């Protein structure tokens, strides 16, 4: 999973302000983590016992810490993918505003 996340981030572990990510790769990584989470929660061996005890729910206690942590990873990946797609929209709006608003704002009186 770690290698997949590193690959989805372009092989980088640190970023600067001008770096960019492919939002589709990050979105795909979020879906892969979601599928891995489901598989870890539902796969059982021949005796019906879980292959990996990722969550524990019994009559006495509930331990969903693994589910919470995986949910955080998925949510953060979705947020990064959303920011990546938003970057293109914001740059197009900024360009349009500078082309239209720049010449008009020069004639406004400034006090």
DSSP category for residue 17: T
- Segments in the chain below pLDDT 50: none
pLDDT of residue 75: 95
Q: What is the pLDDT of residue 109?
A: 63
Residue 101 falls inside a structural domain: no
Tokens found for residue 81 = 């993918």
Does 103 fall in a domain? Answer: no
Identify the pLDDT of residue 43. Answer: 85
In a domain, 50, yes or no: yes
Print the domain residue range for 68. 1-9+21-81
Q: Tell me, yes or no, whether 99 lies in a domain.
A: no
Is the residue at 54 inside a domain? yes
Does the residue 88 lie in any domain?
A: no
- Per-residue pLDDT of 77-95, as tens digits, reads 999 998 888 877 777 777 7
Under 8 Å between Cβ of 52 and 37: no
Question: How many domains does the chain fold into?
Answer: 1
Q: Is residue 95 situated within a structural domain?
A: no
Please tell me the predicted confidence (pLDDT) of residue 86: 80
* CA–CA distances in Å: residue 13 to residues 6, 30, 94: 7, 17, 29
Q: What is the pLDDT of residue 28?
A: 95
60 domain-assigned? yes
**In the prediction, which pLDDT does 27 show?**
94
């Amino acid at each position: 999973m770690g290698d997949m996340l590193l690959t989805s981030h372009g092989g980088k572990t640190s970023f600067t302000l001008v770096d960019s990510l492919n939002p589709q790769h990050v979105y795909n990584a979020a879906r892969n983590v979601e599928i891995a989470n489901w598989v870890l929660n539902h796969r059982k061996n021949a005796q019906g016992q879980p292959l990996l005890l990722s969550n524990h729910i019994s009559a006495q206690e509930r331990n969903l810490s693994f589910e919470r942590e995986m949910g955080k990873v998925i949510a953060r990946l979705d947020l990064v993918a959303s920011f990546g797609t938003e970057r293109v929209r914001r740059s197009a709006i900024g360009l349009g505003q500078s082309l239209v608003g720049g010449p008009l704002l020069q004639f406004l009186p400034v006090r």
